[in-house]
Amino acid sequence: MENRIVKTSIGSFLQMGLLSLSSLVITIFLSRLLTVEEFGIYSLVNALVFFLIIVFTGGIPSSMARFLSITGDRVSRNNVITKGLKILLPWLLICSGLYFLFYKYFIVHIFNEYYFSGLGVIIFLLVLVEVARQLIEKLSHGVSRMSIAAELSAYSALLLIVMSVVAAWLYATAQAVLIAKYLALLLPIPLVLKKLVEVFQQSISTTDPVSVRSKEIISYGIPLSIVSLAAYCFLQADLIFLARYSDASSVGLYSICIFIYMRLTIFPRAIGNGLAPYLARTGYSQDGIAKLELGMSYALMFSVPVTLFFMAESDVFLTLVFGEKYSPVSPILSLLSLYFLMASLLAVLNPILDFSGKASVRAVGVVAGGLVNICLDFIWIPVYHFQGAAWATLAGYFVFFIVVTLNLEKKVLKSLFRSDKIRRIIFVCFIMALIIVVTKYFLPIYSAAMITASFILLYPLLLLFFNVFSIDEIKSTLVRLTR
């Protein structure tokens, strides 16, 4: 079982990491090849697509994944797939009709129409292909075969890099890049879908079949859909408000900050995805809590130094990676690092809550936080623009973070607070914070290079020195992966 956790985490990391790596390469090229306004249009379309995916799926793929994780025989899994698709496909048809009926009205009354001139069809096609990809990913996750989703991401990543960059180079428009993105996402689906079908055909177990009703799939999917819609209020909805009250250039600048943190959360999300199926079966047993404690320590080990680095050197990072034209939002990147820290911790906990049948807890937190975020967006973005969007996100996400942590089992919270490993990680990061302060005060000219070198070279050595992890621990993990 422990091997399965590690392999599922690695598979999830590869699946998300490959797409994130391609997104990083693509975004770097696009930020330099496109104008800030065209990049803003591209980002705004992606934000709208993300919203429509939530509506079009209705949480059904995630619900199917949850029920697949607690079944072991082929009959039960086929039952989940059949009933899930009978719900999902008619819903897709309804949403498609509503989309074409209200698209023009929405665009004219919310944005300046030129933002989306001629993009209605490509937005719809992107939504459909993303729904198909999400379905493959969730079903793979449900049967702990994230290698299939990782393979899909590998093909897509390669095609996205080549086709998107070529489109931007030749045409320098958001529309050309979006068409290239659609084709790159579509092409690998048939091959990977065939492999997924073969896995389900081979899913044979001696356990008694588990009967899942359509009502159960819907009732579990609705809270997940509500959670996703509320989560959309963080970061993504800010782009909609910026487009409404400002312009596409503002969207382009702010979207760079969003992109960085959304991609960096792949590591803690992979940890949560690896733990989720296991904890769905075992609950908060002593062994389960120990696994959760280890997962949280890895998330902290990654997220805290990233937060410190962007607090200190966001301007240098933006200039070197994306170009000097994005340096005006460096204070926003620094401010949103606090969001990233909270998001990293919740990325470990959220999949576990979903798979353990406690999605309602996360739903309450994310809905409350999302409402706070949206209300503050209405008030602050028209006046403070970037700063208003960032502060609204921090306020709303803090509400979400508090609701989730307060609703965790007391024994889980006690275990996390008493963890020696977590305490040692926090102490090491405190040392790194002191190094940043001293370096920027005494050596401001060389601070960026020295701080970067400290995180690359000194931070791992400090983790080893304070016994946060050991060489033997790394070796044992590698051994488990090869079994």
- Is the Cβ–Cβ distance between 65 and 141 less than 8 Å? yes
Look up residue 74 and give its two tokens.
């082929």
φ/ψ of residue 336, rounded to 5: -75, -5
Q: What is the mean pLDDT of residues 283-288?
A: 68
Q: If pLDDT is split at 50, 70 and 90, which confidence band does 464 have?
A: confident
Q: If pLDDT is split at 50, 70 and 90, which confidence band does 210 have?
A: low
Flag whether the pTM goes above 0.75.
Answer: yes
The CA–CA distances, whole Å, from 177 to 72, 167, 172 equal: 42, 5, 8
Percentage, residues of the chain above pLDDT 90: 29
The whole-number pLDDT of residue 331 equals: 93
The whole-number pLDDT of residue 186 equals: 94
Q: What is the mean pLDDT of residues 74-84?
A: 82
The whole-number pLDDT of residue 409 equals: 73
**Does residue 225 surpass a pLDDT of 70?**
yes
Q: Report the distance separating Cα 41 and Cα 4, nearest Å.
A: 41
| pLDDT tens for each residue of 415-445 | 888 888 889 999 999 999 999 988 888 877 7
**Does residue 349 surpass a pLDDT of 80?**
no
Q: What is the mean pLDDT of residues 1-28?
A: 60
Q: Which residue type is seen at 113?
A: E
| pLDDT tens for each residue of 364-381 | 888 889 899 999 999 999
The whole-number pLDDT of residue 357 equals: 60
The CA–CA distances, whole Å, from 259 to 23, 28, 256, 375, 380 equal: 9, 11, 5, 23, 22
Least confident of 315-319, 328-332, 439-443: 439-443
**Does residue 474 surpass a pLDDT of 80?**
no
| pLDDT tens for each residue of 107-156 | 777 776 666 767 889 999 999 999 999 998 888 877 767 677 777 777 88
Give which of 339, 341, 335, 332 is closest to 306, Cα–Cα: 341
Least confident of 52-61, 96-105, 273-282: 273-282
Percentage, residues of the chain above pLDDT 70: 84
Give which of 352, 71, 87, 92 is closest to 200, Cα–Cα: 71
- Is the Cβ–Cβ distance between 432 and 459 less than 8 Å? yes
Q: What is the mean pLDDT of residues 310-328?
A: 90
Least confident of 19-28, 290-299, 303-312: 19-28
| pLDDT tens for each residue of 228-282 | 777 777 878 898 888 888 888 889 999 999 888 888 887 788 777 777 666 666 6
Q: Report the distance separating Cα 479 and Cα 126, nearest Å.
A: 40
The whole-number pLDDT of residue 473 equals: 66
Half-sphere exposure in the Cβ direction for 138 (13 Å, CA):
25
Look up residue 390 and give its two tokens.
């960032």
